Structures are given as C-alpha cells and as structure tokens.
Amino acid sequence: MIPYGRQEITQEDIKSVVEVLESDFLTQGPQVPNFEKDISSYCKAKYAVAVNSATSALHLACLSLGLKKGDWLWTSPITFAASANCGLYCGALIDFVDIDPNTYNMCPEALEKKLAKAEAVGKLPKVVIPVHLAGQSCDMKSIYKLSQRYGFKIIEDASHAIGGQYLSKPIGGCQYSDVTVFSFHPVKIITTGEGGMALTNDKGVFERMSLLRSHGITRDTGQMKEPVDEGWYYQQIELGYNYRITDIQAALGRSQFKKINQIISRRHEIADRYNKSLSDLPLKLPCKSNEWHSSAFHLYIIRLKNRSRRQQVFKSLRDKGVGVNLHYIPVYRHPYYQSMGFDSSAFPESESYYQEAITIPLHPAMSIQDQDMVVQSIKESL
C-alpha cells in the first residue's frame, strides 16, 4: 500500500537522536530552545514555544489570548477536530465559517457576512482560527482586516504549512495573526514523532504560553508573587499543563528541519507531476502556486466532478494498493458536535467538498514508479 503520507527518517536524523540519548539531557535541555530558535528565525517571528503536540499549542494559544467560558471561537469546518476542540477546552462556544470553493480554506466573504450578523446579536467571536488546509495559506490579509474592524484575535492553524509562503514571506511570521501553530506529527512536513510549536510576536503571549506549558510553574523571580533569593526556589502562579516537548524530539526536529527546503522542493515536484498527469481527467485539482501563495503541499487533494462515484473510486483505489484518505469530515458532522445542533445546510461549500474530495499519496519518499502507479490507478478507477 502506498500511503498518502509518511515520515522519512535518515541516518542523520537517527544520529542526532542518539547523540541526545548519550548526553546529559533527555527531557529539558539545549535542544528545545535551539529548535525554537531554528523555527522562529526561519519564519521571521520573534518568539516560539515548542510543545508536545499542535493540539497543545492551539490550547495554549487560546488560553494566552484570554479565551474563556462564554466566549466564541470560530474556525473552518474542513479541518482536524483539534482546531475546534481547543476552544472547548477553554469553555468557549464553537461555530464554523464556510470554505472558499477554490482554496478549501476559510472564505473571507463568508466570514464577513457571518461577522455582520453576529455583531447585530452581540455574539462576535473572541478568537478566529483560519486553517491552512494541505499547506496552502488562507487569505490572511483579508481576515486580518476583518479582525481590526470586529476586534477578534487570530490563531493561524498552520499544522500543514511549515515551508509554505504567503505574500512572498514564510508562513509563521504572524504578520496577520497573533499566533501561528505548526504540527510535527509523523505525516507532516517535518516530524518530531509527536510535537508542535506556537509562534508569536507578542512578548506577553509568549511568556504566558511558556508558563502554561510547564504546569504554570516559574523560576523567574520577575514573575513570582513573592520572590525570594534562594537558588532552589520556584512558584506555581497559574494552573498550567505538562505540554513540554523533550530534547530527544527536538533533536529529531532540528535534524529534519535542516532539509526543509529540499523537502518542500520535492513535494512541489510531485505536485507538478500530478498536475500534468491528471489534468485531462474529470477532476478538480489543487490551486497552483501564484503571486500570493506557495503551498507546502502537505496534502494533494483531488475532487471528483461526478460526486456520485466518490465512494466507488475511493474503494477501488484502496483495493489497488493506493492509500487514499479524506481530509476531512466536516467537524460539525461528528456526533459530539452534532449534539450542539449544527445545521449542515449552513455550510454548502463544505458539504460539496466533503462529497467530492479524496487525498492521494504525496510524500518525499515516493518514487516515480509509485506516482505512476497512483496515476494509472486513478485513471482505471475513473
């Protein structure tokens, strides 16, 4: 079975992990802050907080932006559940904004209409989380302009998007957001096994995320309520979490990150080859890179023009050894969220996407033969 995505671990990666295993630090050591510096420098953000998952990063970001019980968080329905769950962890209420039919990301026009209605009834969101699906940036400039008008905070869920660009700048620089979150799960662009990172240009948000990452405990006398001089002294000043990442994971991430340009280039090569090979088929292919965005191509998503055949094509490809998948079932369709009373007819573009989309294999370790097999299988299945 050719998987839709998978990690590629080299001998260099293994060596970097072994070096940590043979060092004095396994959990909190020099590799974690060095990894944070690597990513923040690359993305041109001031601060970074590495954590044990992107879900943890989303949660910390919400808390640090003051999201609380009774507030509203809005996100895209076409995403992994964590983009919405992070708001529920804070006691917030959740709603969704329909997607753009071409990018499959949060639609700025749909957002603007929803904001106008929400303002009229006093239910504006405290936080909006646009999701960079498949590695392609949302129209962040338009969303940011709306945030200035309506007063909400922005968290970019860029779990798919490290290495991508928006307006010729790396995704993650937070030019149009308060926080950006990356994922380092094994199928993502680079991996730490499990892990994530939050980036920000706001020192206060950075300090609070750093505090909450480690139980709400600090050794910084500047943060203590009653500082003392003893070198052993520390204080818990908030109820935090154990969201820390280890030096072992950070070492793997740093080794993987050294290859980021090579990885993105290879993903683009595969995507370009798919674009040429599949262009004559009854499919809608992903948006190509243009003057305002360059996707990281974490995923390659096709949409069937004849949606009635989606299930048959999906099963046929699996039977042929092509590990297709679906990204994603709309969050409001999950039983847990259905109980909140969401009406699927309120999200027509998300519903159309859900009925037509298939994710086909794309990862740097794919050979030309693998890709030819995928393309031939798609042609046969259609």
What is 2-16 written as a DSSP string? EES------HHHHHH
Beta pairing class for 127-129 and 153-157:
parallel
171: Cβ contacts below 8 Å, ≥ 6 apart: 43, 132, 137, 156, 158, 161, 162, 163, 164, 165, 180, 296
| Contact yes or no for 133/157 (Cβ under 8 A) | no
Assign 200 to helix, strand or coil. strand
Q: What is the sign of the dihedral through the CA atoms of 337, 340, 345 and 348?
A: negative
Residues 265 and 350 in one domain: yes
Residues 20 and 156 in one domain: yes
Assign 10 to helix, strand or coil. coil
Amino acid at 308: S
The DSSP secondary structure of 211-244, one letter per residue, reads HHHBTTEE--TTT-SS----TT--EE-S---B-B
Assign 259 to helix, strand or coil. coil
Residues 239 and 335 in one domain: no
Q: How many domains does the chain have?
A: 2
Read off the tokens for 373: 């097999």
The DSSP secondary structure of 62-122, one letter per residue, reads HHHTT--TT-EEEE-SSS-THHHHHHHHTT-EEEE-PBPTTT-SBPHHHHHHHHHHHHHTT
- CATH number of the domain where residue 182 is located: 3.40.640.10
Torsion-angle region of 321 (φ positive above 0: left; ψ -120 to 50: alpha; else: beta): left
Identify the bridge partners of residue 31 per DSSP, sorted by sequence position.
none
Determine the length of the chain: 382
DSSP code of 325? B
Domain span at residue 86 reads 2-257
Q: What is the sign of the dihedral through the CA atoms of 281, 282, 283 and 288?
A: positive
Confidence (pLDDT) at 106: 98
Torsion-angle region of 134 (φ positive above 0: left; ψ -120 to 50: alpha; else: beta): left
Residues 341 and 253 in one domain: no
Domain end (from 257, 279, 298)? 257
Residues 194 and 104 in one domain: yes
Residues 92 and 215 in one domain: yes
Residues 200 and 248 in one domain: yes
Assign 173 to helix, strand or coil. coil
Read off the tokens for 314: 């999906």
pTM equals: 0.96
Residues 118 and 163 in one domain: yes
Residues 159 and 305 in one domain: no
Identify the bridge partners of residue 294 per DSSP, sorted by sequence position.
165
Residues 168 and 209 in one domain: yes
Residues 204 and 290 in one domain: no
- CATH number of the domain where residue 336 is located: 3.90.1150.10
| Contact yes or no for 178/79 (Cβ under 8 A) | no
Q: Is 349 exposed, middle or buried (0-12, 13-18, 19+ CB in 10 A)?
A: middle
Residues 248 and 284 in one domain: no
What are the pLDDT tens digits along the chain (382 aa)? Answer: 999 999 999 999 999 999 999 999 999 999 999 999 999 999 999 999 999 999 999 999 999 999 999 999 999 999 999 999 999 999 999 999 999 999 999 999 999 999 999 999 999 999 999 999 999 999 999 999 999 999 999 999 999 999 999 999 999 999 999 999 999 999 999 999 999 999 999 999 999 999 999 999 888 877 877 767 777 788 998 999 999 999 999 999 999 999 999 999 999 999 999 999 999 999 999 988 777 889 999 999 999 999 999 999 999 999 999 999 999 999 999 999 999 999 999 999 999 999 999 999 999 999 999 999 999 999 999 9
Confidence (pLDDT) at 225: 79
Confidence (pLDDT) at 112: 98
Domain end (from 207, 223, 257)? 257
Identify the bridge partners of residue 70 per DSSP, sorted by sequence position.
none
Domain end (from 233, 257, 281)? 257
